[in-house]
């Protein structure tokens, strides 16, 4: 493997990994703030215990999310220095804003929240939870604005061969951002919701099995209900914003959408493929049998059942005419130097990632609604498959999120900055030309080191989350169970 | 704002972010480095970790912001420096990963082996980033062999030279002294006494590499006015050594703040008007003027920074106020894990 392949694997692994923790942090931090608000307003022990329990899981996860995020801030410069030089004038600003506006608030107020239980007045402490959780949402906004600019560059002109920012407002209100941001946030809530349903459902089932009807004032029932409702709303939000994204994608990145469908030839009207067998990577598509819903793709693309959707083969010809047939001859491009440009993303990846994203997301929301039905009006599910189902379902929205990002990032290859069809000429960049001039040994070292450390982190985080999830509220409540500690004692309410 | 030299302003802002990082994370690192030295038992070590518990994460953001602002304001500086110092930077990142989760996870399992292992991670995760950040900063000030495209000439060892290694030890040495004084300032009882004694013994030696670095930088790249900053750094360093010796922890800490401020002034003042000199050909050096982003980008960032930075200082300052109390063994609750 050359530097380009290694650098791409590294970026893919570290980013997908980072984005396992991030959506859980975003979704769960807001839900914990909601729980704490309920406690401060009603004074009911149930909400206090929920805040403590889910807050503990949030903290275990947050630590791993933060530290893997630091890598991201450096990685653009380390492995993608040519890219960073090219886009810095535009792309750097939202990254710097993310740090100044979001990360400072996030980390400072999290520290206040963790250690402030006995130090701050109740309402101030609650405000810290909200500051922290809203900052996590804000950070998602800025980084998605940066990413959306790569998908659909706006608000810039080309000066001396490089994009130069002309309108920050256009970058921050890029229609791609406005669709992708709520989509990502809805995905974050889907993840947190599945955790609430899964762990809450397991506890509820266990309490029923052990004949403990009290079950802490209904902590687990409330958690399951909250999770199922949030999950259902999140899935509706995902569908709506996903549809918005799809329509933009047809205009802005037609190749990505054709790749999502593995649509080889232009169709009018085009059907939406539900499932295919055979090798979807064949450019001639002869060996693919696909179950399709007639004309649905046309509708998804243009809100019109009769419209034309361009296929991969036609688009390749268009792209060649617009963006060239061969890579420049440049030793830094390695094997690709002077070679023909392959404008087609890896079709099996884009096709299956897209389908699985939608399918797993839908199953996850369905299981949430099923759990809601099974626990209706005080019912306690007794069947053995219930806890297995809700626990296994925790993985689904995580996978769906990862697959969505894998689809959107691999679907824009071979570009790192995708040309905007209605934008400025020359504002695009091939992934191959963005990589740093490093030795393969350097990148291989970092790829192995980061992957190994991340694997260890994953094992430890899963171990700790499982341990604390299993222990329930007994593991997180103060021994004397004093919920309104106003007297400043000698002992810290919380210490590492 | 057209009459204002925005690139220079942003050069100063980035220096200020680095100062914030070195000052704040400096004592975080010092606390971690000294964990096995000052912490006789687990309770001692928990006291130490909890002196920085509520604040270490906020302190670390100064690094993220310094780097993010460099990306936004001087993209070629960000790109060339971080790719040239690739492997040392990787070590910094891995160490920061370990240290961050160690703080959060070390108390989550009631096992001596578990805690001892995380303590090792904290120690390594404090020494290595301090050394690595020192190497990175001194490489940026003293130069890297850069070609005309801004890429490093030669292998990764080109950035590990005696002068950048001195820079690495300089930052680590400062962090060690700073951390010892911080522990003395934030704890009570025996551990405070131990920290004070250690700071008294270590500070004259610990600050020497920093002064060595300042001398090298001043002699090679300094201007007349940066001599003043060198003198201030030396005097403040001497004052810190003297004040901790007589038990005035607060004054010593303040003197260290002046020391690191003056040191950053020397480093960045000598670097200006370059941001990253090339050691093979000065024509390849990256300069403030040529590396800067467009005036529009800098203007946006300036407006944002002018509104946000004071607020950040306010609420971070408030955090230190909320957790101003000294802590000792009696404050540490019993280990209670499921």
For the cut 90, the answer to whether the pLDDT of residue A276 exceeds it is no
Chain A residues with CB under 8 Å of B151 CB are 81, 436-437
Rounded Cα gap, residues A387 and A469, in angstroms: 13
The lowest-confidence range among A268-282, B258-272, B292-306 is: A268-282
Using CB atoms, pick whichever of B93, B155, B330 lies closest to residue A71: B93
Q: What is the pLDDT of residue A486?
A: 42
- In this complex, is the C-beta atom of A59 within 8 Å of any C-beta atom belonging to chain B? yes
Per the structure, the complete domain to which residue A401 belongs is given by 174-433
The reply to whether B311 falls in a domain is no
For the cut 70, the answer to whether the pLDDT of residue A481 exceeds it is no
Rounded Cα gap, residues A65 and A32, in angstroms: 17
The reply to whether B313 falls in a domain is no
The reply to whether A205 falls in a domain is yes
The secondary structure of residue B158, as a DSSP letter, is: G
Mean pLDDT of A248-262: 87
Q: How many domains does chain A have?
A: 1
The reply to whether A315 falls in a domain is yes
Q: Which of B102, B140, B118 has its CA nearest to residue B14?
A: B140
The three-point CA angle A395-B104-A16 to 5° equals 35
**Chain mean pLDDT for chain A:** 88
- Over the stretch A381-412, which tens digit does the pLDDT of each residue have? 888 898 999 999 999 999 999 999 999 999 99
Chain B residues with CB under 8 Å of A168 CB are 296-297, 300
Q: What is the pLDDT of residue A296?
A: 80
The reply to whether A412 falls in a domain is yes
Burial tier of B64 (Cβ tally within 10 Å: 0-12, 13-18, 19+): buried
Token couple for A292: 């399709």
Rounded Cα gap, residues B234 and B255, in angstroms: 10
Higher-pLDDT residue of A212, B141: B141
Task: Concatenate the DSSP letters of all residues of B267-306 into one string.
Answer: HHHHHTTEEE-BSS-GGG-EEHHHH---HHHHHHHHHHHH
Q: What CATH number does residue B227 fall under?
A: 1.20.1630
C-alpha separations of B110 from A345, A458, B46, B115 in Å: 50, 20, 13, 8
Tokens 């004084």 sit on residue: B181
The reply to whether B248 falls in a domain is yes
The secondary structure of residue B287, as a DSSP letter, is: E
Chain A residues with CB under 8 Å of B317 CB are none
| Proportion of chain A in helix, strand, coil states, percent, rounded to 5 | 70, 5, 25
The reply to whether B136 falls in a domain is yes
ipTM: 0.91
Element (H, E) at A415: strand A415-417
Token couple for A343: 């404008």
CB atoms under 10 Å from CB of B3, counted, come to: 4
Q: By three-state DSSP, how is residue B125 classified? A: helix
- Over the stretch B21-34, which tens digit does the pLDDT of each residue have? 999 999 999 999 99
Tokens 């002309």 sit on residue: A166
- Over the stretch A20-64, which tens digit does the pLDDT of each residue have? 999 999 999 999 999 999 999 999 889 999 999 999 999 999 999
- Closest residue in A to B304 (Cα–Cα): A97
Token couple for A255: 């190749």
The reply to whether A310 falls in a domain is yes
Q: How many domains does chain B have?
A: 1
- Quick one: three-class SS letters along A176-230? HHHHHHHHHHHHHHHHHHHHHHHHHHHHHHHHHHCCCCCHHHHHHHHHHHHHHHH
Length of chain B measured in residues: 338
Phi-psi region of A262 (alpha: psi -120 to 50; beta: other; left: phi over 0): left
The reply to whether A166 falls in a domain is no
Task: Concatenate the DSSP letters of all residues of B241-256 into one string.
Answer: HHHHHTT-HHHHHHHH
Tokens 């296929």 sit on residue: A311
Token couple for A399: 């996978």
Mean pLDDT of B257-285: 93
Rounded Cα gap, residues A397 and A362, in angstroms: 9
Interface contact B301-A436, CB threshold 8 A: no
Report residue A267: phi and psi, to 5°.
-130, 150
Rounded Cα gap, residues B219 and B181, in angstroms: 30
The reply to whether B290 falls in a domain is no
The reply to whether A407 falls in a domain is yes
Which of A111, A416, A458 has the highest number of chain B CBs within 10 A, making it the mutation to test binding with B? A111
Chain A 440-479, CB below 8 Å of chain B: which residues?
Answer: 442, 445-446, 449-450, 453, 457, 460, 464, 467-468, 470-472, 474-476, 479
Q: By three-state DSSP, how is residue B154 classified? A: coil
Total-model pTM: 0.91
Q: Which of A471, A468, A488, A490 has its CA nearest to residue A117?
A: A488
Interface contact B338-A467, CB threshold 8 A: yes
Residues near A490 by Cβ (< 8 Å), separated by ≥ 6?
B330, B331
The lowest-confidence range among A118-132, A152-166, A280-294, B286-300 is: A280-294
Chain A residues with CB under 8 Å of B78 CB are 76-77, 84, 88, 92
Burial tier of B47 (Cβ tally within 10 Å: 0-12, 13-18, 19+): buried
Token couple for A330: 């440049």
Interface contact B72-A67, CB threshold 8 A: no
- Over the stretch A89-99, which tens digit does the pLDDT of each residue have? 999 999 999 99
Q: Angle formed by the axes of helices B86-105 and B75-84, to 10°?
A: 90
- Over the stretch A414-438, which tens digit does the pLDDT of each residue have? 999 999 988 888 899 999 999 999 9
For the cut 50, the answer to whether the pLDDT of residue B1 exceeds it is no
- In this complex, is the C-beta atom of A72 within 8 Å of any C-beta atom belonging to chain B? no
Q: How many helices (H) and strands (E) does chain A have?
A: 16, 6
Per the structure, the complete domain to which residue B94 belongs is given by 3-272
The reply to whether A195 falls in a domain is yes
- B303, B46 Cβ separation under 8 angstroms: no
The secondary structure of residue B149, as a DSSP letter, is: T
Q: Which of B316, B298, B318 has its CA nearest to residue B306?
A: B298
Q: What is the CA radius of gyration of chain B?
A: 20
For the cut 90, the answer to whether the pLDDT of residue A495 exceeds it is no
């Amino acid at each position: 493997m050359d530097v380009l392949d290694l650098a791409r694997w590294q970026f893919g692994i570290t980013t997908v990994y980072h984005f396992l923790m991030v959506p859980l942090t975003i979704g769960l931090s807001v839900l914990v703030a909601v729980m704490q608000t309920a406690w401060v307003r009603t004074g009911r022990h149930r909400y206090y215990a929920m805040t403590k329990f889910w807050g503990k899981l949030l903290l275990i996860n947050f630590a791993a999310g933060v530290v893997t995020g630091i890598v991201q801030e450096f990685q653009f410069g380390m492995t993608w220095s040519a890219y960073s030089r090219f886009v810095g004038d535009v792309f750097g600003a939202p990254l710097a804003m993310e740090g100044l506006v979001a990360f400072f608030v996030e980390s400072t107020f999290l520290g206040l929240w963790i250690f402030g239980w006995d130090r701050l007045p109740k309402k101030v402490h609650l405000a810290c939870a909200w500051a922290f959780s809203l900052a996590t949402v804000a950070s998602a906004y800025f980084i998605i604005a940066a990413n959306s600019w790569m998908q659909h560059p706006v608000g810039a002109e080309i000066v001396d061969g490089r994009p130069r920012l002309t309108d920050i407002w256009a970058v921050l209100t890029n229609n791609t951002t406005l669709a992708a941001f709520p989509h990502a946030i809805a995905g974050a809530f889907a993840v947190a919701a599945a955790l609430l349903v899964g762990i809450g459902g397991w506890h509820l089932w266990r309490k029923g099995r052990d004949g403990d009807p009290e079950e802490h004032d209904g902590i687990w029932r409330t958690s399951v209900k909250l999770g199922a409702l949030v999950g259902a709303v999140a899935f509706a939000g995902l569908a709506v914003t996903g549809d918005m994204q799809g329509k933009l994608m047809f205009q802005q990145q037609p190749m990505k959408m054709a790749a999502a469908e593995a649509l080889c030839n232009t169709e009018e009207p085009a059907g939406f493929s539900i499932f295919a067998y055979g090798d979807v990577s064949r450019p001639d598509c002869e060996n693919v049998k696909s179950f399709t819903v007639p004309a649905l793709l046309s509708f998804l693309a243009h809100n019109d059942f009769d419209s034309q959707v361009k296929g991969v083969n036609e688009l390749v010809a268009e792209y060649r005419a617009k963006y060239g047939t061969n890579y420049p001859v440049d030793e830094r491009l390695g094997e690709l130097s002077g070679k023909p440009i392959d404008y087609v993303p890896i079709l099996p990846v884009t096709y299956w990632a897209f389908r699985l994203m939608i399918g797993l997301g839908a199953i996850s929301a369905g299981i949430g609604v099923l759990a809601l039905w099974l626990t209706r009006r005080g019912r306690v599910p007794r069947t053995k498959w219930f806890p297995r189902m809700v626990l296994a379902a925790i993985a689904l929205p995580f996978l769906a999120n990862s697959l969505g990002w894998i689809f959107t990032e691999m679907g824009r290859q071979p570009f790192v900055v995708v040309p905007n069809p209605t934008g400025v000429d020359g504002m695009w960049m091939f992934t191959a030309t963005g990589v740093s001039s490093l030795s393969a040994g350097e990148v291989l070292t970092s790829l192995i080191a980061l992957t190994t450390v991340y694997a260890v982190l994953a094992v430890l985080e899963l171990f700790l989350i499982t341990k604390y999830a299993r222990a329930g509220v007994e593991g997180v409540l103060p021994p004397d169970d004093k919920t309104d500690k106003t007297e400043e004692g000698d002992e810290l309410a919380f210490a590492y | 704002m057209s009459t204002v030299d925005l690139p220079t302003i942003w050069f100063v802002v980035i220096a200020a972010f680095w100062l914030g990082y070195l000052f704040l994370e400096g004592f975080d690192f010092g606390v971690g480095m000294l964990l096995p030295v000052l912490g006789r038992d687990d309770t001692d070590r928990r006291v130490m970790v909890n002196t920085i518990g509520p604040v270490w994460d906020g302190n670390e953001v100064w690094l993220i912001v310094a780097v993010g602002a460099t990306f936004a304001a001087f993209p070629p500086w960000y790109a060339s420096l971080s790719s040239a110092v690739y492997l040392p930077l990787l070590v910094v990142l891995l160490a920061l990963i370990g240290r961050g989760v160690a703080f959060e996870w070390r108390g989550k399992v009631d096992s001596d082996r578990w805690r001892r292992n995380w303590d090792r991670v904290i120690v390594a995760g404090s020494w290595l980033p301090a050394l690595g950040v020192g190497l990175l900063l001194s490489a940026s000030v003293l130069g890297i062999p850069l070609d005309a495209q801004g890429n490093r000439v030669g292998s990764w060892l080109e950035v590990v030279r005696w002068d950048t290694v001195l820079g690495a030890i300089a930052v680590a040495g400062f962090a060690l002294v700073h951390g010892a004084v911080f522990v003395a300032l934030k704890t009570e009882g025996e551990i405070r006494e131990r920290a004070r004694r250690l700071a008294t013994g270590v500070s004259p030696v610990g600050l020497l590499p920093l002064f060595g670095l300042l001398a090298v930088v001043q002699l090679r790249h300094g201007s007349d006015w940066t001599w003043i900053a060198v003198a201030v750094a030396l005097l403040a360093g001497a004052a810190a050594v003297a004040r901790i010796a007589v038990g005035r922890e607060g004054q010593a800490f303040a003197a260290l703040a002046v020391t690191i401020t003056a040191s950053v002034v020397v480093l960045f003042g000598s670097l200006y008007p370059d941001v990253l000199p090339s050691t093979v050909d000065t024509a390849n050096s990256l300069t403030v003027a040529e590396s800067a982003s467009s005036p529009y980008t800098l203007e946006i960032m300036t407006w944002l920074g002018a509104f946000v930075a004071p607020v950040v200082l306010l609420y971070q300052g408030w955090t230190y106020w909320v957790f101003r109390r000294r802590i000792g063994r009696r404050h540490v609750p019993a280990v209670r894990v499921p």
